[in-house]
Amino acid sequence: MNRRIAAFAIATVAVLGLTACAGGNAADEQPTDSNSTEESAPAEETNTDQSVEDACGIVLPKLQEASGAAGEIDTTGATDPQTTVDQFSGVVDAFGEAADSVSNAEVKEATTAVYEDFVALGDVLSKVLIDQDMSAASDIGTITSDVTSSATALQELCS
């Protein structure tokens, strides 16, 4: 049973990693208009006329940073299952914070869709790892498809 649970945890984190790769090129293509992060920070909070380009320039690096943190999630089974779920939840929470950091409605909606899909993935991860309900793993295919669709939509919006 532990091998199946570890394999599921690895698969879950792999989905997170694939999402990071999907957004990588779009962020690299974003031009930067400001020379310092201090100048862009107030725009996150106060600019309600934020362009798609500006919003993507804010949200994509945050998503990539959060996805990078997924590499720290223990998928070996060396820690208790709750720690693995908590680590994944921290990454997912960062996705939600990324969505909240922009005011452009299109980018916010697309980023929120990615976040919500990862919330669903986290719910399944919790059911499998904490509750040891392997039947919940049957939802992984649908959720993975949803994650791929929402991440692709965000990438297309931001490219």
Question: Would 121 be classed as within a structural domain?
Answer: yes
Instruction: Quote the number of domains for the chain.
Output: 1
List the structure tokens of 143.
Answer: 């959720």
Question: Would 13 be classed as within a structural domain?
Answer: yes
156 by Cβ neighbours in 10 Å (0-12 / 13-18 / 19+) ranks as exposed
Question: pLDDT tens across 71-111, in order?
Answer: 788 776 667 888 888 988 999 999 999 999 999 999 999 99
Question: Would 62 be classed as within a structural domain?
Answer: yes
Question: Would 36 be classed as within a structural domain?
Answer: no
Question: Would 113 be classed as within a structural domain?
Answer: yes
Which domain does 64 fall in, by range? 2-30+53-158
Question: Would 60 be classed as within a structural domain?
Answer: yes
pLDDT band at 37 (very low <50, low <70, confident <90, very high): very low
Question: pLDDT tens across 13-29, in order?
Answer: 555 554 544 444 433 44
As a whole number of angstroms, the distance between CA 124 and CA 42 comes to 37
Question: Would 22 be classed as within a structural domain?
Answer: yes
CA-based nearest residue to 6, from 92, 91, 117, 80: 80
pTM: 0.72
pLDDT band at 48 (very low <50, low <70, confident <90, very high): low
